[in-house]
Structure 1
Amino acid sequence: MDATSRPHRIPPAMGVYAEKHKVFQMMQNMTEALLIYRPKDPIEFMIEHLMKDNDEVPAVLVLGPPAAGKTTIARWLCKHLSATYLSPQQLLRNKLLRQSREALARQQLQGSVPDELWAGLLEERLADVDCVKLGWVLDGFPETRAQARLLQALGVAPRHVVVLEAPEMVLVERNLGKRVDPLTQEVYHTTFDWPIDFTVQKRLVKPEGTSVQDTAKRLLESHRNIPGLLRTYPDNHKVISADQPCADVFAQALSFVQSRFRSEAPFLPRVLLLGPPGSGKSLQAALLAQKYGLVPVSFVDLLREEVVGRTSLGELIRPSFESGYPVGDTVALRVLGNRLSQLDCATRGWVLHGFPRDVDQAELLRRAGLEPNRVFFLHLPTEVTTQRLCQRATDPISGERYHTIFKPPANEEILQRLRRNPHDAPPRVEKKADAYGRQVADLEDFYEEALFVNADQDPYTVFEHLESCLVTPLPVTRPGTRSLAGGASHL
């Protein structure tokens, strides 16, 4: 490209390709890895880094005071994400690690393991193929800021840090009732999580360090160290209250771990809003355009402009407008392609509504290289659609729009001169809603990464949901993992 010309005319297909294959993020990840490890041969290092293909695998720390539920949450995360579970005790018992024997001897003789030895054990374990390919969740380490800084110096950088917290009385009560299965190392509780199997009940043992005095001492140490750990991971930690049902704690932890933080990589929004009539697509498009400088593109307005302008395409569209039948897909795509390929859309991004109406049109849009990178389905019950559209009217003198429920006219004079659009007649509205309802299931299957928003609420609340998913990368979904929401995100 000519560096002296501004702005650059970059074909839309380039941006689609770069985002699909995460080119910008890949370059950023490699640059970060180069600066952390400082290899002697950067080219060879980058080749090995790309071959690992693990930029999206979990790298999670689960921290918190004793009895906060770290082990339970960490194991559940591992099962859900198909990741490798790690803990200090597991590192000590792993005889395949070169330093495990030395660490175990130090613990037996001195009662503790030096931080450098802990870090060495972890570094060695993280180099194993299961941690590299599947990712890992580390339970209860590091415990101090010094240990965390030591891990950073070795290049061990978690992507997410889950920090559990709970009142001291709750933690003491939990710790006193803790029991461990010596065979499986599963943790149980005499009150909250007692095993059904009588054989398991008989072999449970009370772990060391769970007395009131020991628990109080460990809680004091934890309270001293947690602030330092939070300062070490200032931008990628989330504090979660553990004083609630375990399933709720896990749901919050999983949502956080599957999220991705904002990247400095270039991102050009191409937003598609789908929903039944009256779901607020035009309003949300205008709000997004106003705040983020996107180009609002209404497909219906584009068709009207072609007809009014008496263009060659407009003459092809006019018969469909007069008969009430949909415009042919080929003509529709030409109109839309001409608009989305213009300079403002190519440089600022766009927010589209009114197209596609079915999977065939969505496929045409994808083949044309005009695929959106954010798709939102605005869900609205049919009865609410009818209420919103069939009771609205316009003042022909002022042009002001009113609604008999949400925005009634101020006086009788205005009420008498209000006029309703024939398109808002109940039979027409119901027909449009039915047509959308017949296609929406197939469109939802087509756009697998779409997000679903409840449009039956305040429009600015809906906008906040759209905005949060626009400025933040979509949650990580990897093959083999399970989703609580059935694949797509619901808001």
Structure 2
Amino acid sequence: MDAASKPLRIPPQIAVYAEEHKVFDIIQKMVRNLLIDRPEDPIQYLIDHLRKDNDDVPRIIVLGPPASGKHTIAKLLCKRMNATHLTPENMLSNDVSPLVEEARSYKDKGQEIPDELWARIIQERLSKVDCMKRGWVLEGFPRTRDQGLLLQMNGSCPDHVVVLEAPDIVLIERNMGKRVDPTTGEVYHTTFDWPDDPEVQKALVEPEGISEEVTGQRLLEYHRNIPGILRTFPKIYKKLNADQPCLDVFSQVLTFVLSKPRSLAPHTPRILLYGPPGSGRSLQATLLAQKYSIVNVSCGQVLKELVADQTKLGQLIEPYIENQQQVPDNLVLRALTDCLSRMECSTRGWVLHGFPRDTEQAALLSDTGFIPNRVFFLDIPDDVAVERLSLRMTDPVSGERYHGLYKPAPRVDIHQRLQQNPKDGEEKVQARLDMYHANAEELEEFYQDVIHVNADQDPYTVFEFIESCIVKPLPKSVPGDPPSP
């Protein structure tokens, strides 16, 4: 029989490697660039693309009306992300290529530089080593939809477009207060950024084109063109209010540009829920499994099912469960490996809870190739955990579960026959909490990208937060960033 007709079982290590190294995204970008540039030697072109290793560098456009602060924001972004700052002005002043010379000739004659020439100049500048290796932030361009379309046709596509907004009356007031140091070129403002040095104050001059009439005309032109520009970048732009302190604006801009665009790569959820007893891991796993059709893998339930089915592994586990002893790690790992290796887990994904409980178990799980791509720590205070568990009771007649605080028994006779699980006694709960705290810190260090969730709230609110962290890509990190808390 043809082996290809059998179910294709992909080892878990392959999926982890492909996701960790973004194999799908690399291939997608290579094919996209190949279709845009159409090189004569496609194979060598793809080899060169891989050698550049610059798929993750910033590619940002900052737009906004006059006096919206786009120059300041662009400079802050470049400093923060070690990127190259590009403006139409510095591209014409710092380069001596034939294209720039041609553009200067238009400018010297007082003529508009053609859009096609602008697009070629920008394409040429973006191909330089500094832009290729460090990324770039392009300020104030494109100014029209046609310029934006030409950039796209030439392959000069940004990953993020920042659009700053503010009321016209605020922008006019800002613009009229600008002053420039003719010696250094530094820009100051009579209200927001006045220099302390009296000599510098005396040297400042009023730049051209900041009168109320000229600013109004520039604002009208901007408002006429910006809708078309945004239609050119429909899914990658974000409007931000620039009428607030500069650092607040920059913080919002940085959060946006560090966000990753949603990948088209096949994504198989591999979720680990970890938390103290009573934190709601079982409920959250059930909600995730129901909504996204992923496999709910409860370690305790897996072991009980093996015992109930009287498998060979279950027979080895049964004495430990009957004597209420901890099942050895090697047996637990065999049980979980068999479960997570099933086709449904490989294709649909899984949510695991109840294992691992310490770093040794986590290392064993990773060694088998089952590495979660989302790790959630459900955090609740100890007194809340004790309250949730120690007040739980079960009706031995109906099997219904009640809680002394959240779901009391409806009748006195039912209340009188309720029974408590011995493991829910207050002392035993506290002992389990102590064990959790003894291992939580080391386990958090083992899984570096842990996401903490406040589980001391409505369970559906907790679920919404967990869900948002699953469906959205994790933000990019910038060199020099402190580790995640």
- Establish whether TM, by shorter chain, passes 0.5: yes
Equivalent residue pairs, number: 485
Query: CA 1:213–1:370 in structure 2 vs 1: closer, same or farther (change >3 Å)?
Result: same
**CA displacement at 1:195 relative to structure 2:** 4.9
Give ranges in structure 1 of 5+ residues lacking alignment. none
1:444 alignment partner in structure 2: 444
SS in 2 for 1:191: coil
The answer (yes or no) to whether the contact 1:94–1:100 under 8 Å persists in 2 is no
Does residue 487 (structure 1) correspond to residue 483 (structure 2)? The answer is yes
1:129 alignment partner in structure 2: 129
SS in 2 for 1:240: strand
Q: Name the amino acid aligned to 1:12.
A: P
**CA displacement at 1:199 relative to structure 2:** 6.4
The answer (yes or no) to whether the contact 1:84–1:130 under 8 Å persists in 2 is yes
1:263 alignment partner in structure 2: 263
Query: CA 1:33–1:455 in structure 2 vs 1: closer, same or farther (change >3 Å)?
Result: same
Does residue 236 (structure 1) correspond to residue 232 (structure 2)? The answer is no
2:94 alignment partner in structure 1: 94
SS in 1 for 2:85: strand
SS in 2 for 1:452: strand
1:391 alignment partner in structure 2: 391
- Counterparts of 1:183 and 1:6 in 2: how far apart (Å)? 76
Give ranges in structure 2 of 5+ residues lacking alignment. none
1:40 alignment partner in structure 2: 40
- Counterparts of 1:3 and 1:186 in 2: how far apart (Å)? 71
Query: CA 1:132–1:399 in structure 2 vs 1: closer, same or farther (change >3 Å)?
Result: same
Q: Name the amino acid aligned to 1:372.
A: P
The answer (yes or no) to whether the contact 1:60–1:257 under 8 Å persists in 2 is yes
SS in 1 for 2:439: helix
Alignment RMSD, CA only? 2.5
1:60 alignment partner in structure 2: 60
- Counterparts of 1:219 and 1:60 in 2: how far apart (Å)? 23
Q: Counterparts in 2 of 1:201-220, with a 5 A limit?
A: 204-220=204-220
Does residue 85 (structure 1) correspond to residue 90 (structure 2)? The answer is no
**CA displacement at 1:217 relative to structure 2:** 1.3
**CA displacement at 1:392 relative to structure 2:** 2.8
**CA displacement at 1:136 relative to structure 2:** 0.9
The answer (yes or no) to whether the contact 1:81–1:481 under 8 Å persists in 2 is no
SS in 1 for 2:109: helix
Q: Name the amino acid aligned to 1:137.
A: V
CA distances 1:341-392 after superposition (whole Å, capped 9, x unpaired): 1121112111111111122222211111111122222222223322322333
1:298 alignment partner in structure 2: 298
**CA displacement at 1:127 relative to structure 2:** 0.9
SS in 1 for 2:377: strand
- Counterparts of 1:389 and 1:197 in 2: how far apart (Å)? 67
The answer (yes or no) to whether the contact 1:80–1:481 under 8 Å persists in 2 is no
- Counterparts of 2:352 and 2:243 in 1: how far apart (Å)? 44
2:363 alignment partner in structure 1: 363
Query: CA 1:334–1:234 in structure 2 vs 1: closer, same or farther (change >3 Å)?
Result: same
CA distances 1:85-108 after superposition (whole Å, capped 9, x unpaired): 111222122134443344344334
Query: CA 1:76–1:2 in structure 2 vs 1: closer, same or farther (change >3 Å)?
Result: farther
SS in 1 for 2:431: helix
2:287 alignment partner in structure 1: 287
1:106 alignment partner in structure 2: 106
2:317 alignment partner in structure 1: 317
What's the TM-score once normalised by structure 1's chain length?
0.91
Query: CA 1:285–1:218 in structure 2 vs 1: closer, same or farther (change >3 Å)?
Result: same
Query: CA 1:281–1:137 in structure 2 vs 1: closer, same or farther (change >3 Å)?
Result: same
Max radius of gyration: which structure?
A: 2
- Counterparts of 1:338 and 1:274 in 2: how far apart (Å)? 21
**CA displacement at 1:233 relative to structure 2:** 0.5
- Counterparts of 2:330 and 2:252 in 1: how far apart (Å)? 46
- Counterparts of 2:230 and 2:36 in 1: how far apart (Å)? 21
- Counterparts of 2:362 and 2:252 in 1: how far apart (Å)? 34
The answer (yes or no) to whether the contact 1:97–1:125 under 8 Å persists in 2 is no
1:153 alignment partner in structure 2: 153
Among all aligned residue pairs of Structure 1 and Structure 2, give the percentage whose two residues are the same amino acid: 56
What's the TM-score once normalised by structure 2's chain length?
0.92
Query: CA 1:153–1:414 in structure 2 vs 1: closer, same or farther (change >3 Å)?
Result: same
1:403 alignment partner in structure 2: 403
1:51 alignment partner in structure 2: 51
2:119 alignment partner in structure 1: 119
Query: CA 1:310–1:24 in structure 2 vs 1: closer, same or farther (change >3 Å)?
Result: same
Does residue 348 (structure 1) correspond to residue 348 (structure 2)? The answer is yes
The answer (yes or no) to whether the contact 1:82–1:481 under 8 Å persists in 2 is no
